[in-house]
Amino acid sequence: MPERLEPGTLVYDPQTRKVGEYQDGVGPYAMLRPVGGGREWQADPARIRAATREERLSAGVRAANDRSREGFVPPPLLEADTDRPPVPVPGCATCEELATRREEARAAFDCSAETDANVVLRQHQGREHGGTPAVRRIFRYVPYTIVQDASAQPEYEAHCVSGDEADCGASSGPCQAPAEVEEWQRRHTQETRHLRYRRSFADYAVFERR
């Protein structure tokens, strides 16, 4: 275990494979609390170590996702406009670290990691730096149904796939009705004795609100 751990330091417990916040030493154990809160657990002080940057980021994202699933409303964010990336607070090492992580992900075109860094940075700022109330968005489910577009004609087509070494490749071209495709198949079979076809149907669909 790293010497002189301060309460709140993030450490990795290899026995449980989890990152936790160091709370205190109780007897022969180190007491750790899950990132974001929860029931503490006992860890072997000789085995825990300081969490890496990736482990801290992953634990922060997992805690944010857990709170979201439980309907938890996060603490106030530093910025009310959640569409903009959060700005690190000057002098805060955690803010600077997460901002660096975000820039590295952006440079690598890793949008998922960039989003994760923004989520954890907002959560950190909400807990540690306070700020204006967060903007809470409400999305309402609007039922739609998919229907065929009556303004566009569907298309039918057949391709001859007969042949000993290669497909014939002849095509009926787009037709307005199945009967036209079948008539073309009959004529083609009479001329070539080919018997196998691949047929396709295409139409246009639109979403309509119920």
Give the pLDDT of residue 83. Answer: 54
Distances (CA, A) of 12 to 42, 66, 108, 192, 209: 12, 19, 27, 73, 50
The answer to whether residues 147 and 208 touch, using CB atoms and an 8 Å cutoff, is: yes
Distances (CA, A) of 194 to 160, 172, 178, 191: 7, 14, 19, 8
Give the pLDDT of residue 124. Answer: 81
Question: Residue 19: which H helix or E strand, with range?
Answer: strand 18-26
Per-residue pLDDT in tens (0 to 9) along the chain, 210 residues: 556 677 888 899 999 889 998 888 878 888 898 887 778 888 988 899 988 888 887 787 777 666 655 555 444 443 344 457 888 888 888 888 888 888 888 887 777 778 878 888 888 887 787 754 444 555 566 677 888 887 888 899 999 999 877 889 899 999 988 999 999 999 999 999 999 999 998 888 888 876
- Residues forming a β-bridge with 10: 21
| DSSP code at position 115 | H
The answer to whether residues 33 and 20 touch, using CB atoms and an 8 Å cutoff, is: yes
Distances (CA, A) of 18 to 25, 28, 65, 184, 203: 18, 19, 16, 67, 52
Domain boundaries, the chain: 10-51, 55-128, 148-209
Give the pLDDT of residue 190. Answer: 94
For the entire predicted model, the pTM comes to 0.36
